[in-house]
Structure 1
Amino acid sequence: MISRRDYLKLALLSGAALSLKPSLLWASDQALPLLTRQVPSSGQTLPAVGLGSSATFSRVAGSDDVEALRAVLQAMLEHGGSVFDTAPSYGASEQVAGRIANQEGIAERLFWATKLNVAGRGAGQADPQAAQAQLDASFARINKPVIDLIQVHNLGDVPTQLGLLKDLREQGRVRHIGVTTTFAQQYEYLEQVMQREPLDFIGIDYAIDNLTMEQRILPLAQEKGIAVLVYAPFGRTRLWDRVRGHEVPDWASEFNAHSWAQFFLKFVLAHPAVTCATPATSRPHHMIDNMGAALGALPDADMRQRMIAHLESL
């Protein structure tokens, strides 16, 4: 079993961290099929691992050197991924990624998921004109006539902003619409919106040490036929702090997990309500490692409990 830290050391020793594919370190898994999930409302099939653009991706997007982002998008596509999640509020992420996608001619290969929110986190009323201006900017940045998914970010003024998205879906300019939140105080409202609105997607926080969504939200998503994007499957940096200095257990190979990233992602993907996990990264070798979680087996219920117990023991 090899940790993410160890394979990165091997990558560096190879003389070219970006040219060595981490997947070569577990080549036996490469013949395994890529895990995909269907969007219930449309039947579209998506790879179960994608790329988020907050955190480190956003920081690099705001710098003078964005070549790593070009490489990380290419790495995702080369390893079977397509889902890219962004938002106008993620600094320069949406703008820079859109420019790269068009320069590289990969815009149509990406499942482009962005967000709408000019009202703030669940507060106040959105100015419809400002919301429309934000939507126009998002369309201009990716330069696609139809955007795959737009969600109301952090449940900001859902009646106004989701109303605009419903209109766009009816016009055929957006394929899927939804809402997101990663704030515990909004979970009850999220449930209410899921009950009454015709959503295609929700975007939520969910991780091996953050199981609140298993109580009501994920079962409701299954009942209502709503696809689920998972944000922060690593607990942002929380899980990395927890496992620092520890090796991935040998028994993780039973479900084809060869790094902590794959361990955490496979736990999330094992829930049947989850459509795609989109951890953010600005490093191509991390992107390739993450895509490895979409290969091979997933842990069953007993194994998931063993995974939780192991993490809690560290």
Structure 2
Amino acid sequence: MEQRELGFTKIRLPVVGQGTWQMEEADEAACIDAIRRGIDAGMTHIDTAEMYGAGEVESLVGKAIEGRRDEVFLVSKVLPSNASYAGTLAACERSLERLRTDRLDLYLLHWPGSEPLEETLRAFKDLRAQGKIRHFGVSNFDQAELSRAIALAGPSEIACNQVFYHLLERAIEHRVLPLCERHGIAVVAYSPFGSGRFPAPDSMGGKVLASIAAAHGATPRQVALRFLLRRQPVFVIPKAARAAHALDNAAAGDLRLTSEDLARIDTAFPLGPDRGVLPTL
């Protein structure tokens, strides 16, 4: 599995990690098996959030990584409604308890909210000083919001921005991705298959993906993930509720596409105009 540095942190992570959104809707035993098999395949970056299943998914992840905590880079997120100074500290404690661990490797604000960002960042820094988190960042922040977070937190503090990014939704490439590149901030792509919007096999884009996949002995989904990873700051965290799906995702980490492949995909799934907004699910 290819690894690259997580922005300015210099921590090397696999380019393909594991998302867990909506895992509460799937079979728990199968999800736990998928996460564990994913870790075996090199996908040691595991992302969750207190929002997912109202804490149920954090508990599931805690079971999956039991006895293997030191093998994984563990990420969770605080809800904006809980992101006051005191609320962030309390939310982190609840997440740690559900995850059965004493620290998070990365803690994110799930999206911009009404609580003062200064207070959320102050809580993050105090949690880091206490050893309960190693790094902190944000999620679903557009260019203006991320610029403000950088200004408030200071340089080399916001470790990542986790955003919605897939072949049919490339809006981050206009402003957010270039800003992250300038500041050494990692970009973590959630729902990289479009959350149910993956191109149909008989569509023009689907045929392009299938053609490139056949040439490399890969699958269309592996090709899609690899295209998103073509720029250095980007990591992807697809969800897999079954072991076979997890292993298919992991194989994208070793796939190499040619410049011609990338150009064909770019043409089939054009960037589109800058609408000035950052889409979310």
Query: Do they fold alike, i.e. is TM over 0.5?
Result: yes
TM alignment of 1:125-274, pairs within 5 A: 126-156=83-113, 157=115, 158-181=117-140, 186-197=142-153, 198-240=157-199, 242-243=200-201, 248-253=209-214, 256=216, 258-274=218-234
1:16 corresponding residue in structure 2: none
> 8 Å contact 2:201–2:210 — kept in the other structure?
no
> 8 Å contact 2:16–2:249 — kept in the other structure?
yes
In structure 1, what is the Cα distance between the partners aligned to 2:250 and 2:187? 18
RMSD, aligned CA: 2.2
Residue 94 of structure 1 pairs with residue 52 of structure 2: no
2:81 corresponding residue in structure 1: 119
TM-score under structure 2 length normalisation: 0.84
Secondary structure of the structure 1 residue equivalent to 2:4: strand
In structure 2, what is the Cα distance between the partners aligned to 1:211 and 1:196? 27
Matched residues, number: 260
Larger Rg belongs to: 1
For the structure 1 residues 140 and 252, does the alpha-carbon distance in structure 2 shift closer, same or farther, using more than 3 Å as the test?
Answer: same
2:45 corresponding residue in structure 1: 83
> 8 Å contact 1:152–1:162 — kept in the other structure?
no
For the structure 1 residues 180 and 299, does the alpha-carbon distance in structure 2 shift closer, same or farther, using more than 3 Å as the test?
Answer: farther
Secondary structure of the structure 2 residue equivalent to 1:93: helix
TM-score under structure 1 length normalisation: 0.76
Question: Once the two structures are superposed, what CA deviation does each residue of 1:23-61 show, in whole Å capped at 9, x if it has no partner?
Answer: xxxxxxxxxxx2111123221110000110113x2312x
Question: Once the two structures are superposed, what CA deviation does each residue of 1:241-287 show, in whole Å capped at 9, x if it has no partner?
Answer: x4468554333455x4611210210111112221x200112111111
> 8 Å contact 1:58–1:93 — kept in the other structure?
yes
Report deviation, 1:162: 2.2
In structure 2, what is the Cα distance between the partners aligned to 1:99 and 1:170? 27
1:59 corresponding residue in structure 2: 25
> 8 Å contact 2:33–2:64 — kept in the other structure?
no
In structure 2, what is the Cα distance between the partners aligned to 1:220 and 1:196? 16
Unpaired runs of 5+ residues, structure 2, are 271-281
In structure 1, what is the Cα distance between the partners aligned to 2:41 and 2:171? 31
Counterpart amino acid of residue 190 in structure 2: Y
Percentage of pairs with the same residue: 26
Question: Once the two structures are superposed, what CA deviation does each residue of 1:144-184 show, in whole Å capped at 9, x if it has no partner?
Answer: 222111001112332222221111123332111000017xx
Report deviation, 1:127: 4.2
Secondary structure of the structure 1 residue equivalent to 2:106: strand
